[in-house]
Amino acid sequence: MSLLYTEEQKELLALVREMAENEIKPYVKEADEKGECPRELFKWGFDMGLHMLEIPEEYGGTGLSYETTAMIFEELAKVDAGYAITFVTTFVALRNVILAGTKEQGQYFADKIRPGSFAGFALTEPNAGSDPAAMRSTAVLDGDEYILNGTKTFITNGALSDVFVGFFKTTPAAGHKGISAFIIDADAPGVTVGAHENKMGLRLSNTTDLIFENVRVKASAMVGPEGSGFKLALNALNLSRAFVATLAVGIMQRALDESVKYAKERKQFGTPIIKFQMVQALLADMAIKVEASRCLVNNTMRMMDQGIMVQKEGSICKTFVSDCAQEVTSNAVQIFGGYGYSKEYPVEKLMRDCKVFQIFEGANQIQRMTIANVLDKEYR
């Protein structure tokens, strides 16, 4: 392990590991095959408080640092990253309402989540992925209410959430600056959960369409000033990028753990394959990528704990780590050989699970644009 953990961190990691190994791991294979995650499985995480670890104590959270929270979520992702991201999405949504909204809005959102509920972020639309300004969903003021209309897609926790942060155009012609954010209860009339996505990986994570048809919300449900939705979304992504990176580290560490174990057991030509130099090179390169990724995540988290925006650093972190994860998990399959390609063994799932990390929270191509734009400004 590349980090120096405090005694407290070691204790917390041991606790989460014990829970995840005993209560979650036995059900992962079946849930992955079915593409669903039974709600009972999340009870363990809620009881432990995993949905509000880094939320300040005044909102009923545990008040942990981002750094320690990330360590805990890496541990959880070793068992299943889809399970982990269900909680990450929830606390990132809550954290952003706390950061961008009023004290009352933060409290309202926290009160919804605390007893054991999920939240989601409704931003992406069928024709507005990397380019949110192209969104078509609208919010029209009517007295002291807004009427929301539109279709959102790829919404993590879509069918699980009790509350959403949704993004709608209050000024359709204004591009980025026409987007505003709203708090929307999932049971508000007019909110419909659409089809569940049959995904390649992260199959324990719930991903659906969300349809808004004449949904009425109070004007006071707007988070931040009118037109500030795009900025809120970017800030939320700054926060979530490093968190999805920590999940990718968990996937990679699992791939390495499984690969070393297998390479020591598997014999060919009368010798455990870990004794062959070409296998050794694969394993060493995997270990290098895992360690470097974990250090990068840790450093980004510590910057976030200092209140630094990490626009560039979060993008670097997510891009580097998710690119590493492709190679590491692919090589894990390589080390397992034909068995690695079989669903009987655990590594093919890791390869499927990690692909989306290059895509979501901003595709890695967009990340590179962001990094280059910041560089351009920095060297002016």
Partner 1 sequence: MNIVVCIKQVPDTTEIKIDPVKNTLIRTGVPSIMNPFDKNALETGLSLKDRYGGKVTVISMGPPQAKAVLREALSMGADEAYLVTDRAFGGSDTYATSYILSQAIKKLGDFDVILGGKQAIDGDTGQTAPSIAEHLGAARLTYILDLEADGDKVIARRQVEEGIEVIEARFPILCTATKESNKPRYATIKRKIASLKAEIPEITLADLPDADVSKMGLKGSPTKVKATFTPKRTACGVTIEGNTPGEIANALIGKLADGKIL
**Residue appearing with tokens 């954290």:** 95
Q: Per residue, what are the HEC states of 175-207?
A: HHHHEEEEEEECCCCCEEEEEECCCCCCCCCCE
For tokens 């209050």, name the residue. 170
Sketch the per residue contact string, 45 through 74, with partner 1: x for CB under 8 A, - otherwise.
--xxxx--x--------x-x-------x--
Cβ 379 to partner 1 shortest distance, Å: 43
Backbone phi, then psi, for 11, in 5-degree steps?
-65, -45
Q: Does 8 bind partner 1 (CB under 8 A)?
A: yes
Give the Å distances, CA to CA, from 252 to 25, 78, 322.
17, 8, 10
- With CB under 8 A as the rule, give the number of residues binding partner 1: 17
| Interface with partner 1, residue 15, by CB under 8 A | yes
- Which is closer to partner 1, CB of 38 or CB of 63? 63
Q: Out of 2, 5, 18, 365, name the contact with partner 1 by CB under 8 A.
A: 18
Cα distance between residue 75 and residue 246, in whole Å = 9
Under the binding rule (CB under 8 A), the answer on residue 7 touching partner 1 is yes
263 binds partner 1 (CB under 8 A): no
Q: How far is the CB of 12 from partner 1 (least distance, A)?
A: 6
Helix (H, G, I), strand (E, B), or coil: what is residue 62? Answer: coil
Active site annotation includes 361 = yes
Nearer to partner 1, 44 or 339 (CB): 44
Give the β-pairing of 271-272 and 145-156: unpaired
Element (H, E) at 83: helix 81-100
- Is residue 139 close enough to count as binding partner 1 by CB under 8 A? no
Yes or no: say if 113 and 45 are a contact pair by the CB < 8 Å rule. Answer: no
Smallest separation (angstroms) from partner 1 to the CB of 63? 8
Q: How far is the CB of 25 from partner 1 (least distance, A)?
A: 14
Considering only the stretches 5-13, 177-185, 270-278, 361-369, report the one whose residues sit in contact with partner 1 under the rule CB under 8 A.
5-13
Q: Does 27 bind partner 1 (CB under 8 A)?
A: no
- Round to whole Å and give the CA distance between 49 and 45: 6
Q: Which of 30, 54, 361, 378 is catalytic?
A: 361
The least CB distance from residue 339 to partner 1, in Å, is 27
Asked whether the beta carbons of 179 and 168 are under 8 A apart, the reply is: yes
Among 12, 79, 94, 332, binds partner 1 (CB under 8 A): 12
- Residue 22, exposed/middle/buried by CB under 10 A (0-12, 13-18, 19+)? exposed
In this structure, what are the phi and psi dihedrals at residue 37, rounded to the nearest 5 degrees? -125, 115
Active site residues: 361
Query: What is the contact surface with partner 1 in residues (CB under 8 A)?
Result: 7-8, 11-12, 15-16, 18-19, 44, 47-50, 53, 62, 64, 72
